Amino acid sequence: MVLQNYPDWQRLVGAVVQIRRENQVIRTGVVEDATPDSSLLWLAADGVHQRTMYAAAENYKAWVEPQQLAGHAAYRMTYHRLYA
């Protein structure tokens, strides 16, 4: 899996990301929301994990991999947002 650090968090809403801090994986989840200036993002609640906020100022980074989908949608919307 090839992941990329993507600092424009607002464009990642709805995408599955890996949150890292100092090269340590903190959590993987779906971005539920992000501030317009990409200073904060929230991962959605998932299983035992509660909805969690991460701040860019605290050195958290979001890593993402664009993925091809089957069916009518050839690519995830995040692919378009990342590379448009």
Q: Are 45 and 13 in contact (CB under 8 A)?
A: no
Whole-model pTM? 0.75
- Per residue in 15-34, pLDDT (tens digit) is 899 999 999 999 999 999 99
Is residue 74 scored above 60 in pLDDT? no
Q: What is the DSSP string of 17-38?
A: EEEEETTEEEEEEEEEEE-TTS
* Tens digit of each residue's pLDDT (9 = 90 or more) over 29-65: 999 999 999 999 999 999 899 999 999 999 999 999 8
Residue with tokens 């200036």: 37
